[in-house]
Structure 1
């Protein structure tokens, strides 16, 4: 059911939810999972995290689907499109039985086209529906021919050839694509070491800095590998890993989870070359029609990726007390946040993360390499 879902995201899969419930729950949180059936057919699934209210505690809990900013940017209700309305009502009724005093249910980053939107149009008994934070995540339609797609960019093909030649001057270059039976968790530790060697390691934000994150991605890799849906894309120079990407397949979509590159090779643009490897492979496959990094970075504009809308849905219990408790937050996300100038948001993000050290620029990396060589000559 998750494989065929119109959202085309892996966070609805039991392989992902299992990893989240094992490794991403915070202290004091608990969970339950509800299933809706029409006769013998599964038509709805709602994994739910129960969070004590920050003021009122467990007596008036908050509910949300599995979500956190570090690992799981989107997760909503899994619904069969033809039974979406009835399945939603059944799942909400079960949430009431499992947590009778809950204030509301948050569905995190519901993708445009999700059956949840259609189900909510027919009503949600006992709840007031508010739209919350809006995010735009990139995706690329990979139906067609890669060389034709690349031909739409004025200088991209020439730049890619130049980057490859620079990389080849440094040693023997090899490309690895591991999928289905050849992809497992064994490459994960090498990938994590590569990520930690760069700016994330300097910032203390690499996966290796958090054992819970290591456990989470290990379980994700293992779970998807068991189903034949894990993929690794990598570039090596003289067998040294210089760029790598972890991906999973969900239906006809390839989800790009994490990537890293060796900053010592930054002037060769190994990340750009790895993206070329990934997209060329995706365009060649009949089982894929979309590549989705489930994020929004400037680099995506370089590849002319499109964007799709993901919106938080807040279902607030239809009674005075919950509505009053949730009103400030829903008003902020619905009316205030969309009107904050982008310049103000940029300043806020800089103040929030003042110590970030981004990857070295190509010129800086070349200067450092030259300095190292001069030191060796001395």
Structure 2
């Protein structure tokens, strides 16, 4: 952290000028990750400065972790930093100097003296303004790269108003929401509280974790409070963002008792969904879903917010209520080393052959068994990269 601290002020300023809102590369988020999760010498933070008339201006920040080669992945990989709670790994770049910043960043990353032989970014939205800029710059620099669809992510775009949002839901979901909401109101006094700082509760982080631990995550040992590193990380994140009113925690209370809460953070014009918690004692009312829909309502009532980033895969329950989906891409970038170039050619060939076999199996069920065997044979090197990034 001591090496990063001199850059924090410029980093905060860059976040307001960024090409794209990215809470997962905000200085508060990365600082919490470095304090609680990253072991020494496994993280790399790259700062790119523009110098005009001896005045320095930060134009790009990229965070990485280095994965050593192993039997699953024969090349050492520099991957966009993926923490247990971070879901967007691509760099933060100045919207006015994006091309120049990416050029400088790429030139440094691709120097042959570096120990890594492949660069991998996990989870770049294909609708992101960053994605085509990076591809264009790599093409201009004649750098070999491959992109591959990874998964779908729920997104929320602003409707004309909350009623327009409800109208876009399926009739079954609208009816279920209204029925559960009426049942909850009939059970007692209902209160919806928006926390954007710690004014109403200095223990907001612990209140959320206590509520989360009551549910199935607590039973499975995956709740934030179950591990000290997770709990400390969450407290750091809440406290640092509360100081600038960038919390968006929505708490649902029944007769003064908290029964559900969503934890979200603001970055620019974007709401980043983070966690949800509810008390299973009140599950008859679907309190988690009610809190989520109340979050959407407050999102539409808050001026300046344009979209919501789901921070989850398409299999999440959020998909039913955040209906705008975006395709997330994985981007593989070769370094100048021959092994890196050959490996990317190999991956490209494997993907093409697999696609051909998939097309054939759609036409003829007779080839089904052959396709399964082929898939299993070639899946090792393709899937191992994603596995080594996420473990």
Q: CA deviation at 1:56?
A: 12
Q: Residue in 2 aligned with 1:353? A: none
Q: How does 1:13-32 map to 2 (within 5 A)?
A: 13-26=26-39, 29-32=42-45
Structure 1 residue 314 and structure 2 residue 328: aligned? no
Change (3 A) 1:6 1:199: same
Query: SS of the residue aligned with 2:151?
Result: strand
Find the counterpart in structure 1 of residue 318 from structure 2: 300
2:134 equivalent to 1:106: no
1:204 aligns with 2:221: yes
Pair 1:79 & 2:93 matched: yes
Residue 8 of structure 1: aligned partner: 21
Q: Kindly state the Cα deviation for residue 51 of structure 1 after the two structures are TM-superposed.
A: 3.0
2:49 to 14, 22, 36: 36
Please give the per-residue CA displacement for 1:151-203, whole angstroms capped at 9, x wherever unaligned.
34435444333212322344332221111463776211121111111111111
Q: Secondary structure at the match of 1:177?
A: strand
Matching of residue 48 in structure 1 with residue 61 in structure 2: no
Report the CA distance shift for 1:173/1:333 in structure 2 as closer, same or farther (over 3 A): farther
Query: Per the alignment, in what secondary structure is the counterpart of residue 182 of structure 1?
Result: coil
After TM superposition, the structure 1 stretch with the greater mean CA deviation from structure 2, 290-299 or 319-328, is: 319-328
8 A Cα contact 1:36 1:45, kept in partner? no
Q: State how far apart, in whole Å, the 2-side matches of 1:54 and 1:92 are.
A: 25
Classify the secondary structure of the residue corresponding to 1:243.
strand
Return 83-92 or 182-191, whichever deviates more: 182-191
C-alpha deviation, 1:26, in angstroms? 4.8
SS where residue 286 of structure 1 aligns?
coil
Measure the CA separation in 2 of the matches of 1:56 and 1:152. 45
SS in 2 for 1:201: helix
Q: How does 1:213-362 map to 2 (within 5 A)?
A: 213-295=230-312, 296-297=314-315, 299-303=317-321, 305-324=323-342, 336=354
Of the three residues 134, 147, 157, the one matched with 1:131 is: 147
- The C-alpha deviation readout for 1:68-97, integer Å capped at 9, x for no partner, is 3x3111120122344333212211333356
Counterpart in the other structure of 1:195: 212
Q: 1:135 to 1:26 in 2, by over 3 A?
A: farther
- How far residue 260 of structure 1 moved from its aligned partner, in angstroms, is 1.0
CA distance in 2, matches of 1:337, 1:65: 27
**5+ residue gaps, structure 2:** 1-13, 362-371, 376-391
Q: How many residues align?
A: 341
The answer to whether 1:66 aligns with 2:81 is: yes
Inter-CA distance 334–137: structure 2 relative to 1 (3 Å threshold) = farther
How many Å apart are 1:268 and its aligned residue?
0.5
1:53-75 alpha-carbon deviations (Å, 9 max, x no partner):
33699xx742122213x311112
2:364 alignment counterpart: none
